[in-house]
Structure 1
C-alpha cells in the first residue's frame, strides 16, 4: 500500500517559492488503480515522481510497502525501485540502437539476472504485449503504439508490484490510445498490479474508477462506481 502523509514539494524559482505539492494526504491500496488529472504545472508529474522514488519530498512521508521513500538511503531506494516499481513514459524512452528484446532486457541488468534468464523473461514479456514476432526490430522499425508496448514490456519484465505511467497515450492517436489502455487495464487486472497513471485525456479520466484531481498542489479524490473501464 502507498500512504502519503502531509507531502509537500517546494521549488525555488528566483525569489518565488513554487508549491508543487502542498500537504498531500493519500492512500492507494495494493492492487488499486488511480488516475491523476489536472492542469499543466499543477503538480501531476511531481506527484508521480514522489510515488516512484524519483524525487524526494520537501516535507511529509511517502510510504510504499513499509519503506519511507523520502528517508531511505539512495542504494536502498534504487533497490526498491528496481524490485517494486515499473515505469512507462509518454516518450517511450527506448534506446534506438537496441532491438525490442534488448530494450526490455535492460530492465533486468541491474537486478543481476543471468543473460539466459534475461533473454527468456524479456521475450515472454514481449509476447504478453503482443510483440513476440517483433522482438528483433529496433524502435525505428516499430509504430508508436508498438514502441509503447515495448516500453510496457520493459516495465513489467521485472514483475513489479506497482506500475506508474506518465501520459502513456499522449503521443498516440485515438484508436491506438484505446488499444494501449485496454492492454494496460488487462495487465493490471491479470497481475494484480497497483496501477497509477497521469493523463491529460478527459476520455481516460472519465472512465477511471478512482480519479485524483490535482490543482495548485492540492489533491481531491473522487470515486466513480459506474466507470466504464477499458475492456482489457
Structure 2
C-alpha cells in the first residue's frame, strides 16, 4: 500500500520557485488501478516520479509498504525500484541495438539473475504480451505498438508489485491504444498488480475504477462509477 502524506515538491528555475506538488495526501491500496489526469504542468508526472522513487519530495512522506522512500539511501531506493516497481513510458525507452528479448533481459540484470534464467523469463514475458514470434527483432523492425509491448514485458519480467505508466499510449493511434490498454488491463488482473497510470486520454480515464485529478499541485480522487 502507498501512503502519501503532505507531499510537496518545489523546483527552482532561475530566480523562480515552482511548486509542482502542494501538500498531496493520497492512499493507494494493493491491487488498485488508479488513473491520474490533469493539465500540462499540473504535477501528474511529478507525482508518478514520487511514487516510483525517481525523485524525492521537498517535504512529506512517500510510504510504500511501511517504508518512507523519501528517507532511503540512494542505494536502497535503487534496490526497491529494481525489485518492486515496473515502469512504462510514452517513448518506449528501448535500446535500439538490442533485440526484444535482450531489451527485456536488461530488467533482470540488477536482480542478479543468471543468463539462462534471464533468457527464459524474458521469452516468457514477451509471449505473455503476444510477441513470442518477435524475440530476435530489433526495435526498428517493430511497430510502435509492438515496441510498447516489449516495454511492458520489460517492466513485468521482474514480477514487480507496482506498475507505473506515464502516457503509455501517447505515441500510438487509436487502434494501437486500445490494444495496449487491453494488454495492461489483462496484466493488472492476472498478476494482481497495483497499476497507476498518467494519461491525457479521457476515453481511458472513464474506464478506470479510480480517477485522480491534479491541478496546480493539488489532487482530488473519486471512484469512477462508469468504470
For Structure 1 versus Structure 2, the TM-score category normalised by the shorter chain is over 0.9
1:208 shift after superposition: 1.4
Which residue number in structure 1 is paired with residue 138 of structure 2? 138
Which residue number in structure 2 is paired with residue 62 of structure 1? 62
1:14 shift after superposition: 2.1
Structure 2 gaps of 5+ residues are none
- For normalisation by structure 2, the TM-score amounts to 0.99
Report how many aligned residue pairs link the two structures: 227
Partner Cα distance (1:23, 1:71) in 2: 17
1:43 shift after superposition: 0.3
Which residue number in structure 2 is paired with residue 230 of structure 1? none
Which residue number in structure 2 is paired with residue 188 of structure 1? 188
Partner Cα distance (1:82, 1:14) in 2: 33
1:113-132 map, 5 Å: 113-132=113-132
- For normalisation by structure 1, the TM-score amounts to 0.97
Structure 1 gaps of 5+ residues are 228-232
Partner Cα distance (1:16, 1:220) in 2: 26
Task: Let me know the Cα RMSD of the aligned residues.
Answer: 0.6
1:15 shift after superposition: 2.1
**Secondary structure in 1 aligned to 2:137?**
coil
**Secondary structure in 1 aligned to 2:61?**
strand
1:206 shift after superposition: 1.6
Partner Cα distance (1:96, 1:166) in 2: 21
1:1-232 map, 5 Å: 1-227=1-227
8 Å contact from structure 2 (residues 206, 226) kept in 1: no
